[in-house]
Amino acid sequence: MSGIILCRSKYGASAKYAEWISEETGFKVVDTKNADIKEVAKYDTVIIGGGVYASSIGGIAFLKKNYAALKGKQIIVYSCGAAPYDDEILEIVRNKNLKGELADIPCFYFQGMWDLEGMNFTDKAMCKMYVKMLDKKDPSTIKAWEKPFLEAKDKKCDWTDKKYLEPLFAELRKGEKS
């Protein structure tokens, strides 16, 4: 079974997961922004992953644009955000990014990193506003997956963990059998 990993990572977390997947599978990692569909279409398995930015998965446009050329292959999507895993988070990300004919593609969510100081100007401003908005909320209405944003604030956090990849590896093994 041949495979490739496409990844779009601004701050390193999804790239770290891509490297871990690569170590396990031997698949090469390509930055989605440099991916060529003619090359990608040569593989049996295509894993597309990226950071979550305002619920959108980085690089997901590549899948939307090129789905016709990838139909019939084993396609797996993973996303990586600062919020800890929660079924609600996965549903938000899935509904925003995998609509229509993409809705049945297996999609995973892993917790990533948070570093306000390391963000570019626009991202930092946006994330600061988000934390401020959470800060003003009635604490009883704050969801479990929103709490880490408040706790992290200016602190640099890395929640990445290889163990989160187990369900993705299990999904990959289904492709080996077919």
Interface contacts to ligand FMN, rule CB under 6 A: 9-15, 51-55, 80-83, 112-114, 119, 123, 126-127
In the complex with ligand FMN, the residue whose CB is nearer, 27 or 114, is: 114
Rounded to the nearest angstrom, the gap between the alpha carbon of residue 12 and the centroid of all alpha carbons in its chain is 11
Collect all residues with Cβ–Cβ distance below 8 Å to 69 and sequence separation of at least 6: 37, 40, 41
Instruction: Name the residue type at position 44.
Output: D
Q: Output the smallest distance, CB 68 to ligand FMN, in A.
A: 27
Instruction: At 70, list the tokens.
Output: 């990838």
Q: Output the smallest distance, CB 8 to ligand FMN, in A.
A: 8
Report H helices in 54-102.
60-70, 87-97
Q: Output the smallest distance, CB 113 to ligand FMN, in A.
A: 4
For residues 99 and 76, give the distance between their C-alpha atoms in angstroms, rounded to a whole number: 14
In the complex with ligand FMN, the residue whose CB is nearer, 13 or 77, is: 13
Q: Output the smallest distance, CB 46 to ligand FMN, in A.
A: 18
In the complex with ligand FMN, the residue whose CB is nearer, 113 or 168, is: 113
